[in-house]
Amino acid sequence: MCGGGGGQPAPPPPPDPRIAEQAAEKRARERRVALNEKSRIKDEAFETAVQDAYGRKNRRSLLSSSSRKGGEGFQVATDLMSKTTLGA
C-alpha cells in the first residue's frame, strides 16, 4: 500500500540572471588575477635561472654598454698593442 506521489521531486527554480552574471564576472576576474600571478612567478623563475646559469647578478657587462656604441672593455698593456693586432 503506497501513499502515492512517488515521482521525481520538482526541479529547482532557475537562478536569478543577475546573480549568475555576477558570479561569472567574479570567476573571470579571479582567473585573470591567477594568470597574472602565474605569469609573474614564471618570469621571476626564468630570471633566476638565467642569473644562476651565467653567474652574474646586477653586474654591468664590460663588453657592452647601453650608453655607448662600443663597450668599455678592459685595459691592454701598451707593449701588447700593435697596429695589426690592436691588442687582440
Q: What is the pLDDT of residues 22-70, one digit of tens each?
A: 999 999 999 999 999 999 999 999 988 888 777 765 555 555 555 555 5
| C-alpha to C-alpha distance for 47 and 56, rounded to whole angstroms | 11
What type of residue sits at position 85? T
In a domain, 88, yes or no: no
Which residues touch 72 (CB under 8 Å, ≥6 apart)?
A: 62, 63, 65
33 in any annotated domain:
yes
Residue 52 lies in a domain: yes
d(CA 66, CA 60): 10
Can you give the residue range of the structural domain that contains 48? Answer: 17-80
Establish if 45 belongs to a structural domain.
yes
Structural domain contains residue 8:
no
Give the confidence band of 12 by pLDDT, cuts at 50, 70, 90.
Answer: confident
Structural domain count of the chain: 1
